[in-house]
Amino acid sequence: MFCLIKKYSDEFKNALVSGKINPDELIKMDTPSREKYLSQFVGDFNAKNVNSLFESKLLLKNQQKGIISWANSVAGLNQSSKQDIIDTVTKLDRAFNPKEGDTILNGIIEKRLGVSVTTDEAKTITELSNAAKELFNPSKNIREQSREYWTVRQKLNEYIRSKTPSSISPTFIKQVGHVSEDVVGAQRAFKTAFDLSAPLRQGRAYLGTKEWNNAFARMFKYAKSPTALADLEVDMLAHKYSQEALKNKHTLGLTMLGVKPNQQEEAFIGKLVSKIPALKGSERAYVGFLNDLRFNRFVNQIESIEKSGRSILGNDKALKDLAEVIAASTGRGNLGKLESAAPALAQAIFSPRWIASRFEMLTNPIFKSGPARKEAATSLARLAGTSAAIIGAYKMAGGEVEIDPRSSNFGKIKVNSSWMDVTGGMAPYISLIARGLTLETKSATTGKLYKLNTGKFGSRTYFDTATDFITNRASPVSSIVRDLFRGESFDGKEVKLEFSKDFAEYLGDQLFIPLFASDVIDAFEESSGNLLESAILSGGSLFGAGVTTFK
């Protein structure tokens, strides 16, 4: 065992005390330089050993202290990540050369950035995958495995998804950007929350189908219990066409299934949403209904095509087209080249995918081919047919309806002073197209027809109509900016940036009052206490039929 004789150890000590040895410099040096430097004080023969001991005993300690001090100074690092770093650092058994890109150091930094897989995560994943392996019956096909097996696989998937963030913000600026996205997302969720709007809005094109009926029936379970959602995923995983669905997960708009981090439903974007208890039930109902509907429609269509003798399995393009059509028909449009800008778009516009989906729904029967075209035509026809049936029946019963596509009330039925959209949100898009084709618009309040693009001073153009169409679909936060620029709100009230009660009420209404609540309040106020009318309007609004009240 090496030891330093007294003469040299005294010389070493004295050099430290007198400042001949500069500890800071000693720490910064690499191994050969330090050996050379130390040889002046402890002799050539001892320098290597002294340095080796210095590195293992003192330098390592210094590095450990330095890294822990760095970890403590990092803002926004949660306690468990910090502890993970500290545990790793204290277990180090050798000093590293800071001048070199050291794998140990990189590993620690990856922990701080949140990109490394933690030991706990690895342990849980290993346990769950082993549990799945034990339940796996090798004599059976993967599609024939037991429900217990798929339940464990779902747990594994869910765990991995929960531990894999969809975005990580390494810098302060990016963190601010993501916080802003989260705030806008949470605020939007507040506006759409507390209702069960998916069935008569996104799901409207499938109203009356067995997939819609079943999803609607199960939606209340999803709202009530998180385990119901997990059960839905187990069903999806265990389905014989789960692999096809998984392959087209993104296109089909599935927001669960698989291990990759999920895309989110437009109405519930952002990390904050899942942390607000009041929104959880509504989110589960929304997510559950749409995943249930999309998945089952997709696999049932595959089954039906296979049974008819025409095969779609193995035809990736046909499967993708079918998934695209079902997604568009259920309110999840494809943003095309703007896909990568989806988060930014969602900050400015209330629901860009929904807008895209409505246009796609109209064009899919023309541009798609094969089974996808058939599905697109069927869903559009179903939407048009059921809308016409409701409007026709209501008119025959003596109710007031609007069937002129140039009017903002097109596709709506009038209940007292309120208009209820029965087209699943498709009407405004048809109106926009109709106004463009006829260059005429019909007033929703007076019923008068106006020409567009007359060239007269102050008259409206089609560009104004199109601009209104877009600005009226602004996200709640950007709609405040819009109203401030215009100087008035959607319902004509003055909006000024000031510390006043009116402005505070306006902000509260814009930011925090859910659309469903606004609809119910407006309908009740205008119904003069007629509970039946209020109930019809409230029920429609609850399940996604848009209600507009003119005061």
Partner 1 sequence: MAIFADKYRKEKTPISVSFGAKYRKGSPFQIQRPETPPKTEYEKYREEHPVISALGVVQEKVITPVIEGAKETVQHPIATIGGIGVGATETVLGITSNILKGDAKLAEVINKVPEPVTNFITDQITRGLVGEQKELANVFIKKGIEVAPDALNKASEYVQNNKEAIQEIFEANMDVNDSKRAGAVGVFVGQQIPYIAASAFTAGVVNPKTASILGSTGKLTLSQASTIAKVVNSASNVIGDTILGQLVIDSDATGDERVKQLALDIVTTGSIEAIGLTANIIKNKSLTNKISGFNADVKSGKIDNIETMSAVNDEISKDIVSETGKTPKELLQERISMAVDSGDVNQINDVLSGKVDTIIPSKNTIYVPESQVPVGAGKTKKSKLATRVYEGFENLTDDHKSMIPEYNAMVKEDEMSWARKFVSENPDDALKILEGKKSPPSGHLYNSVYAAMSETAQKNADLGLKLSSLRSTRFGQEISILTEIDPHNPVRYLSQMSRDKIAAIGGKEVLEENISSESKKVIRSITKNNLVKTDWDAFINSISC
Q: Select from 33, 76, 80, 123 the one that contacts partner 1 (CB under 8 A).
A: 123
Q: Which is nearer to partner 1, 104 or 511 (CB)?
A: 104
Nearer to partner 1, 115 or 278 (CB): 115
In this chain, which stretch among 118-126, 190-198, 365-373, 495-503 interacts with partner 1, using CB under 8 A? 118-126
Select the span of 12-20, 212-220, 453-461, 490-498 touching partner 1 (CB under 8 A).
12-20
How many residues sit close enough to partner 1 to count as binding (CB under 8 A)? 77
Q: Contacting partner 1 (CB under 8 A), which of 18, 24, 456, 501?
A: 24
Q: How far is the CB of 124 from partner 1 (least distance, A)?
A: 8
**Considering only 131-139, 202-210, 211-219, 415-423, which stretch makes contact with partner 1 by CB under 8 A?**
131-139
Identify the residue among 3, 338, 344, 449 touching partner 1 (CB under 8 A).
3
DSSP 144: G
Could you give phi then psi for residue 30, rounded to 5 degrees? -90, 175
Give the pair of three-digit tokens for residue 85.
């770093």
Strand, coil or helix: 204: helix
CB of 266 to partner 1, least distance (A): 20
Nearest-angstrom CA–CA distance, 278 and 259: 27
- CA dist 75 and 61 (Å) reads 24
Asked if residues 242 and 149 have their Cβ atoms less than 8 Å apart, the reply is no
- Closest distance of CB 340 from partner 1, Å: 12
Least distance between partner 1 and beta carbon 100 (Å): 7
Under the binding rule (CB under 8 A), the answer on residue 5 touching partner 1 is yes
**In whole angstroms, what is the distance from residue 6 CA to residue 22 CA?**
21
CB of 11 to partner 1, least distance (A): 10
Q: Which of residues 82, 121, 194, 473 is near partner 1 by CB under 8 A?
A: 121
Site for partner 1, residues 436 to 465, rule: CB under 8 A: none
DSSP structural state of residue 488: B
DSSP code of residue 446: T
- Secondary structure (3-state) at 422: coil
Contact assessment for residue 190 and residue 514, using Cβ atoms and an 8 Å cutoff: yes
Among 34, 112, 382, 435, binds partner 1 (CB under 8 A): 112
Binding mask 154-173 for partner 1 (x = CB under 8 A): --x---x--xxxxxx-xx--
Closest CB 181 distance from partner 1, rounded Å? 14
Comparison of 39 and 530: residue with beta carbon closer to partner 1: 39
Q: Segment contacting partner 1 (CB under 8 A): 2-10, 233-241, 268-276, 458-466?
A: 2-10
- Binders of partner 1 in range 252-291 (CB under 8 A): 259-261
Binder among 86, 92, 125, 439 for partner 1 (CB under 8 A)? 125
Window of 41-49, 344-352, 419-427, 519-527 that interacts with partner 1 by CB under 8 A: 41-49
Identify the burial level of 366 via C-beta atoms within 10 angstroms of its C-beta, where 0-12 means exposed, 13-18 middle and 19 or more buried: exposed
Q: Answer whether 205's CB lies under 8 Å from 424's CB.
A: yes
**Least spacing, CB of residue 248 vs partner 1, in Å:** 18
Tokens of 403: 């069937």
**Closer to partner 1 by Cβ: residue 48 or 414:** 48
- If the CB atoms of residues 6 and 551 are measured against partner 1, the closer one turns out to be 6
Site for partner 1 in 48-107 (CB under 8 A): 48-50, 53-54, 57-58, 61-63, 65-67, 69-70, 73, 97-98, 100-101, 105-107
CB of 272 to partner 1, least distance (A): 17
Q: Which two tokens stand for residue 538?
A: 């409230």
Residue ranges of the alpha helices (H) in 397-499?
427-438, 462-471, 476-486
Antiparallel, parallel or unpaired: β 412-415 and 418-421: antiparallel
Site map (CB under 8 A) of partner 1, residues 201-240, x = contact: ----------------------------------------
Residues 485-544 that bind partner 1 (CB under 8 A): none
Q: Which stretch binds partner 1 (CB under 8 A): 122-130, 246-254, 407-415, 450-458?
A: 122-130
Rg (CA), the chain: 32
Reading the block at residue 90, the tokens are: 């204290």
Cβ atoms 351, 267 nearer than 8 A: yes
Asked whether the CA dihedral 126, 131, 136, 142 is positive or negative, the reply is negative
**Helical packing angle, 316-329 and 277-307, nearest 10°:** 140
Cβ 348 to partner 1, closest distance in Å? Answer: 22
Stretch that binds partner 1, among 31-39, 271-279, 409-417, 431-439 (CB under 8 A): 31-39
Q: How far is the CB of 176 from partner 1 (least distance, A)?
A: 16
Residues 387-426 contacting partner 1, CB under 8 A: none
Of 390, 392, 391, 366, the residue nearest 377 (C-alpha): 366
CA–CA dist 370, 321 (Å, integer): 9
The residue to which tokens 């990390």 are assigned: 271
Question: Which residues, 6 or more positions from 274, have their beta carbon under 8 angstroms from its beta carbon?
Answer: 268, 280, 283
User: Residue 252: what are its φ and ψ, rounded to 5°?
Assistant: -75, -15
Nearest distance, CB of residue 118 and partner 1, angstroms: 9
Residue closer to partner 1 by CB (options 28, 310) is: 28
Distance CA 61, CA 478 (A): 53
Q: Which residues contact 521 (CB under 8 A, 6 or more apart)?
A: none
